Structure 1
Amino acid sequence: MSVHTPAKPTTTDPGSSRANPNAVDADTPVGALRRILRVQAFQILLVLVVIFIIFTVMAPTAFPQWTNLRQVIQNMSILGVLGIGSTFVIITSGIDLSVGSVLVFSGVVSAKAMIFVGGDGWGTALVGLVVALASGLAWGSLNGWLIAKAKVPPLIVTLGSLGAALGLAQVITGGVDITAVPAVLSDNIGYGNLVGTTLPLISVIAIVFLVVFGIILHRTKFGLHTFVLGSNEEAARRVGVKVDRQLISVYALSGGLAGFAGLLSLAQFGTTAIAGQSQTNLNVIAAVVIGGTSVLGGVGTIFGTAVGLCIPAFLQNGFVIIGVQPFWQQVAVGFVLVVAVYIDQRRRTAASRGGGGMRTASLTGLLRRSKN
């Protein structure tokens, strides 16, 4: 007489390829490709490539030429520096509407300081750099202190700073732009090229900043704490992150970079351009969000911000070349911005439902690394 013994049940990881025959191992090339395709910064890069191809086909003798692209790259340089600070701020789930006005104020006090010192050499330019950085750091630190210590919402604080910094710049100058800029700044940084190339030096400076702060964001404890703070502030406090100090530092960084951008603006335009930065705040924030940094905090990359800056710049330049009113660029950027935020919210909704474990695992990994 034979006795039938039931098969021993097997336990299969529901996330493995055995449980789901259609699943692709993440370690395989196909799995890695799928992960890359799901990254919003890469998706935006594909959009940028499509835009470039379209304008190249429509204006093959003008748009893809280096002389034109060089101008586009040069025009993005200042926004690139500002975008770094805004990326850090938005990752903390904050906002900084004051960067354009801080840029103007820093440029004004820097120009005044250089006029007071006198001369056109690097010594005078160094004084201007120190003053610009100091003024930007002061505004950023004030913003951070009010947000972290006084608990005033970032939107209100930076909106107030937007008006105050611009108003003080107009008070100092009487509303008249300062045009006395040391020649060494204009000739070497504003219009100069990297030695042996035709690449604008101001763009090289912006690229170096993007690379350095990209490393800081993704490879240092300061960047890690920024992500943890934006993901879950209470969890950040529990693992020992000094939340108030981190917030103040992030906003100080944004202000300091805006101050440095003020000096770059002086070098590029040869004037303080008080009335020329009215859309800077929105352009920078739009570029950061389009590049994949979440307005809800905890997600973002410097690479994505760089790509996000390219889209409005290429659109504006391409529209001008093909004879379309450049105002349509604002419509296109607005559309892309809304779509980017919509996609981000859909992803977060999906993570909170079926894939919430992925979000939790990501935060857990950040918290563990922050303890080390």
Structure 2
Amino acid sequence: MAGGKKAGLGLFRNAGPLLGLMILSIVLTLLSDRFLTVDNLLNVARQVSINAIISVGMTLIILTGGIDLSVGSILAFSGSITAGLLAGGQAILPAILAGVAAGAILGLINGLLVARAGIPPFIATLGTMTAARGFTLVYTDGRPITGMEEAFRFLGGGYLASIPVPVVIMAAIFLAAYIMLTQTRFGRYIYAIGGNEEAARLSGINTKKILLAVYTLGGVLAGFSGIIMASRLNSAQPTAGTGFELDAIAAVVLGGTSTAGGVGTVGGTLIGAMIIGVLDNGLNLLNVSSFYQQVAKGAVILLAVYVDKKRKGG
């Protein structure tokens, strides 16, 4: 009986998010004839790609039992660094690498605060969130950065075989993350730390090293998302990414990853990100006020956390 119940819960964890996405899509298709069109679906995929890429890093962090509130600020800082260099005449590749490096450094700082200094992830990343936003405002002087060369726009606005480039990048990142989590020792260590960090340490896993790597990867992916956003908008906004950490956490939790760590998949996170994106798009098509959209999104997040709590209780 217990084994059957456990198997049923596991099936629900995997199938539940996908079923929710299907039901939401069916409802929106019935309510709006503009939803199920090729152009709109490609637009949804492009919009989802930013949050989805951030959510990959957030998945790795939450799997270890942590959290990262700084990803939105890292996105803004990395995008501003790249845009500033491009506006100053720097070549595209070095500018992109500099932006990614900025994200990696901020992610590494998060890892050092959590793994070495022993500061709780919520507090550590709250501090870096505020600091990174301040760095962005100082660097940009509070003004958008524009004047980037046309070729840079391909990263966020171009197409490959009729598929938006950000969607192709998103798919590649999710595939790499899936292989890493399921086929490598590093991925097994992430799950082990989330399951029981002390037991993982006693079994010989260098937990501090793994945490440093995970938070650094989170910073890299957030930074790269900021660069894609700057490319798509052809400008870097100092306020970009505000609230993105909440969307990323929502996508991870909606996708079935446990907030306690140790349980979850990047496939589920992709579905969770799609749910957030489809919900936003559908409410826009239905001309729902942005104020009510925030209420709806909050309700979905609370529902996901409640379901996660019931699963752990079961």
Question: Contact 1:102–1:166 at 8 Å: present in 2 too?
Answer: yes
Query: 1:35 offset after TM fit, Å?
Result: 7.0
Letter in 2 for 1:321: L
Q: Hey, what's the Cα distance between the residues in 2 that align with 1:15 and 1:299?
A: 19
Question: Contact 1:128–1:263 at 8 Å: present in 2 too?
Answer: no
Give secondary structure in 2 for the equivalent of 1:274: coil
Q: Hey, what's the Cα distance between the residues in 1 that align with 2:264 and 2:78?
A: 27
> Percent of pairs identical after alignment?
37
Corresponding position of 1:139: 106
Corresponding position of 2:158: 192
Query: 1:333 offset after TM fit, Å?
Result: 2.5
Question: Contact 2:140–2:238 at 8 Å: present in 1 too?
Answer: no
1:109 aligns with 2:76: no
1:250 aligns with 2:214: yes
Query: 1:69 offset after TM fit, Å?
Result: 1.0
Query: Per-residue CA shift, 1:5-59, capped at 9, x if unaligned?
Result: xxxxxxxxx879xxxxxx69x9xxxx8xx57642x24201101101100111111
Question: Contact 1:114–1:127 at 8 Å: present in 2 too?
Answer: no
1:270 aligns with 2:243: no
Query: Per-residue CA shift, 1:297-325, capped at 9, x if unaligned?
Result: 11111111111111121112111212322
Corresponding position of 1:89: 61
Please identify, of 297-306 and 319-328, the stretch whose mean Cα deviation from structure 2 is larger.
319-328
Corresponding position of 1:334: 298
Quick one: structure 1 residues 41 and 335, their matched pair in 2 at CA, closer, same or farther if it must change by over 3 Å?
Answer: farther
Please identify, of 104-113 and 201-210, the stretch whose mean Cα deviation from structure 2 is larger.
104-113
Flag the structure with higher helix content: 2
Question: Contact 2:14–2:268 at 8 Å: present in 1 too?
Answer: yes
For residues 290-301 of structure 1, the aligned pairs below 5 Å read 290-301=254-265
1:57 aligns with 2:23: no
Query: 1:116 offset after TM fit, Å?
Result: 3.5
1:349 aligns with 2:310: no
Larger radius of gyration: 1
Query: Per-residue CA shift, 1:181-226, capped at 9, x if unaligned?
Result: 221121x2222111xx321011111111111111111221111100
Give me the TM-score of the superposition, normalised by structure 2: 0.95
Letter in 2 for 1:244: K
Corresponding position of 2:43: 71
Query: 1:326 offset after TM fit, Å?
Result: 3.6
Corresponding position of 1:42: 15
Letter in 1 for 2:210: Q
Please identify, of 65-74 and 335-344, the stretch whose mean Cα deviation from structure 2 is larger.
335-344
Give me the TM-score of the superposition, normalised by structure 1: 0.80
Letter in 2 for 1:302: V
Give secondary structure in 1 for the equivalent of 2:163: coil
Letter in 2 for 1:192: G
Q: Number of aligned residue pairs: give it.
A: 314
Q: Hey, what's the Cα distance between the residues in 2 that align with 1:90 and 1:259?
A: 18
For residues 194-343 of structure 1, the aligned pairs below 5 Å read 194=160, 197-343=161-307
Letter in 2 for 1:324: V
Q: Hey, what's the Cα distance between the residues in 1 that align with 2:14 and 2:254?
A: 8
Q: Hey, what's the Cα distance between the residues in 2 that align with 1:147 and 1:339?
A: 29
Q: Hey, what's the Cα distance between the residues in 2 that align with 1:262 and 1:277?
A: 8
Query: Per-residue CA shift, 1:149-196, capped at 9, x if unaligned?
Result: 11111111111111101111111111011012221121x2222111xx
Corresponding position of 2:145: 178
Query: 1:329 offset after TM fit, Å?
Result: 2.9
Q: Hey, what's the Cα distance between the residues in 1 that align with 2:205 and 2:149?
A: 43
Deviating 4+ runs (over 6 angstroms) = none
Question: Contact 1:87–1:288 at 8 Å: present in 2 too?
Answer: yes
Please identify, of 107-116 and 90-99, the stretch whose mean Cα deviation from structure 2 is larger.
107-116
Question: Contact 2:143–2:237 at 8 Å: present in 1 too?
Answer: no
Quick one: structure 1 residues 145 and 69, their matched pair in 2 at CA, closer, same or farther if it must change by over 3 Å?
Answer: same
Query: 1:281 offset after TM fit, Å?
Result: 1.1
RCO higher in 1 or 2 (8 Å CA, sep ≥ 6)? 2
Question: Contact 2:68–2:121 at 8 Å: present in 1 too?
Answer: yes
Query: 1:239 offset after TM fit, Å?
Result: 1.2
For residues 13-32 of structure 1, the aligned pairs below 5 Å read none
Letter in 2 for 1:260: F
Mind listing any 5+ residue stretches in structure 2 that lack a counterpart? none
Q: Hey, what's the Cα distance between the residues in 1 that align with 2:291 and 2:25?
A: 19
Q: Hey, what's the Cα distance between the residues in 2 that align with 1:299 and 1:348?
A: 10
Q: Hey, what's the Cα distance between the residues in 2 that align with 1:311 and 1:130?
A: 31
Q: Hey, what's the Cα distance between the residues in 1 that align with 2:309 and 2:176?
A: 29
